[in-house]
Structures are given as structure tokens and as C-alpha cells.
Amino acid sequence: MKYMIASDIHGSEYYCRKMLEAWDRTGAKKLLLLGDILYHGPRNDLPRDYAPKTVISLLNERKDSIYAVRGNCDAEVDQMVLEFPIMADYGLICVDGIAIYMTHGHIFNEDNLPPLMDGDVLLHGHTHLLRAERVQAGEAEKSVMILNPGSVAIPKGGNSPTYAVLEDGLFQIVTFEGEIVKELLLKKEI
């Protein structure tokens, strides 16, 4: 199955629309949202075309194809208007035999890893910094992958707004102009 992965919309109608247009272009069956969907948060400036009510409507139209986790800016009041679950701190999916632990990143991250086995994936947003790399982690120095699609609406570190696509074990971070800026093959080549 092909997945599109996005994080940190922060209530931007403009970037939500761009994200949904990109989702349609990719042909992905599911959208994995890594939190911070409606509210911009007290540390961020308002994103372009801040319109949470419109974002609600746009996402609810596709509720059956969205898996989401809670970001640090998401609250119970957001769940009251969104018609798909967003209040879980994490979700687990298995893709091609690889366990992917998806979370926002404010609780579990590289400095506070969830229980992961060698070869597992930590997929998160929160930092607004794109990332796709294999790291040695934990006391056992197991190899895990840290994946972050960057931010749809408020990228940091000089990055463009990005999302990611996961298909056939290949994780690609993509700009809205279609440029692949980073990629990682989840299975080690033999």
C-alpha cells in the first residue's frame, strides 16, 4: 500500500489544500497525519491563510482514509470537530514486515525512544525539520530509522514545505513542486 505522510498543518487552509492536491497526485490510499492539525500554537506565527474551520471541512471529507496521532497543539476540542480519531499519542503500523511507530515527537523522539527493536522505524513530526536516516540507538546500539516528513505549513531550518510518501519500502520526502529532497530505503540492502 502507498502512504502519504504529513505533519504540522497548523490550521493553514492554503497548505492543507496543497497537501490534499499532492495526496491526489501520489495516488496514496492512506494519509498519515502526525499531529498539530488545526492550531498554530503559542510559539509559531500564524501560517498562511490560517482557517482551521476550512481545514476541518477539507479533512473530514476524507475521514475514512486518514490515520492520525495527537500533536502537542491538538486538544479535545479539536477531536470534537474532526470526524477521525486524533487523540492517540502514537500509532503502530506494519509495512513490509517493518514496525513503524508513528507519533508527533513531543513525547517520543530520538532522545526518548519508545520500545523499538532493531530495524524498526520512529516516524514523527513536531520539529518541522525533515529527516530520513538510520541511527544507532539505545543501550544495545540497535539500528533504527528516524523519519520526519518536515512540516506542511511552517517548515524550519531553511526547508520548503514538505510531505513524504512511503511505498515499497522507500520513504521519500517531497516538496509541493514534486522535488524529492531526501529518501531512505527502509530495508537494508543485502
What are the structural domains, with CATH classification, of the chain? Answer: 3-185 (3.60.21.10)
Shortest CA distance to 104 belongs to which of 90, 115, 92?
90
3-class secondary structure, 152: coil
Percent of the chain with pLDDT strictly greater than 90: 85
- pLDDT for 36: 97
pLDDT, residue 109, reads 92
| pLDDT at 96 exceeding the cut of 80 | yes
Report CA 175 to chain centroid distance, whole Å: 14
On the question of pLDDT at 173 being above 90, the answer is yes
Mean pLDDT across the chain: 94
Q: What is the DSSP letter of 10?
A: T
The stretch 152-160 carries a mean pLDDT of: 96
What pLDDT is attached to residue 190? 46
Place of cell 524529492: 180
At position 160, the amino acid (one-letter code) is: S
Does residue 10 register a pLDDT over 70?
Answer: yes
What integer pLDDT is reported at residue 189 of this predicted model? 57
Q: What is the mean pLDDT of residues 30-59?
A: 94
Checking if the pLDDT of 5 tops 80, the result is yes
- What is the pLDDT averaged over residues 163-183? 97
> How many CB atoms neighbour CB 28 within 10 A?
20
Q: Give the model's pLDDT for residue 127.
A: 96
* Beta carbons of 15 and 46 less than 8 angstroms apart: no
Q: What is the pLDDT of residue 188?
A: 67
Q: Are 58 and 24 in contact (CB under 8 A)?
A: no
